[in-house]
Amino acid sequence: MKPELDLLDVISDARARVGAHPAWQSGPERIYDLLRTATKLRAMEIASGDESDLPWESVLAQLVAWHHDFPLSTGPCTESAAGEITALAAAAQHWDRLETGVRTDAYQVRLTGGGFRVRHSWNPAVEVADAFLEAASVPTQLPKLSETERRWISTRSAGSRKGPPGDVLEAAVNRATVTIEAYRKAVPEGQVPDTFPLGEGMTAGDMAGVLAVIMGLASLCEETAHRLSRLESTLAHMPIPRLMALLADMCPTVSEAHQALAVERLTYRTGRSCRTSPLGCVRNVGGEPES
């Protein structure tokens, strides 16, 4: 058998191990166990000063996708099982690229010493140039953490589960708004105007306003976790009615209908991408959905 086919068999077996893993025989809380384990491993990597090219945001997205792909059962997901699934999610970042490359003859595969040696079949200069252009389009003058946010984080108890007060959240949303505008202006093909229609009467400006609130809160949670060395705040969640009340307060220029539409489009469903729909939705004990 050709080494290319052997490698494809290895990839297929790895995917099969994911579906057969006992971690999926657990209840709906497993998503928190998986994300907690992944963020802990990422924090350990940062603390030790290790540099890797592993796209951790894609690992987290893969965990969310798998959680929704496999049926729910009962019971907890153990720490060891969550660690094994996280390792598979990290490895999965290479499977699709390898498989696509092998099937399109983009890679040369050789079997040496019991392992596979994979090399490009073409000159990768175009891909390298594209990577440099992509890096050059990322804005560098982004707003830093405000003094209001910094002061709240420094006085916050490490074990507190209380959310930020209005002035702190407003500062975070303002910072996110400036960041969003910076990224929109840096796009090489030009910025989409606020009036650009996104369907059902919603505009790009409406979506940017809702995203600023969500991104501001998420960024504040991330900064809190980093400064207090507590990962729990990166897994913040709230009931949908509470989220909608927050949006009504922080996005007065966006109609209630468009706020709800934006949240629905940003909520992950099977068949959607975690990158374009980053909000998760779980059901609590009473059966009501939570964001």
Q: What is the pLDDT along the chain (291 residues), one digit of tens a residue?
A: 588 899 999 999 999 999 999 999 999 999 999 999 998 888 888 878 887 888 888 999 999 999 999 999 998 999 999 999 999 999 999 898 889 888 888 888 888 877 888 887 777 777 777 778 777 778 888 999 999 999 999 998 877 878 899 999 999 999 999 999 999 988 877 888 999 999 999 999 999 999 999 999 999 988 988 888 777 777 777 889 999 999 999 999 999 999 999 999 999 888 888 878 888 765 444 444 555
Q: What are the residue ranges of helices labelled H in 70-136?
A: 79-103, 125-136
Nearest alpha-carbon partner for 239 in 282, 195, 181: 282
The Cα 80–Cα 63 span in angstroms is 15
Nearest alpha-carbon partner for 87 in 22, 29, 14: 14
CB 92 within 8 Å of CB 18: yes
Contacts of 237 (CB under 8 A, 6+ apart): 280, 282, 290, 291
For the question of whether the overall pTM of this predicted structure is more than 0.85, the answer is no
Q: Residue 112: beta bridge partners?
A: 115
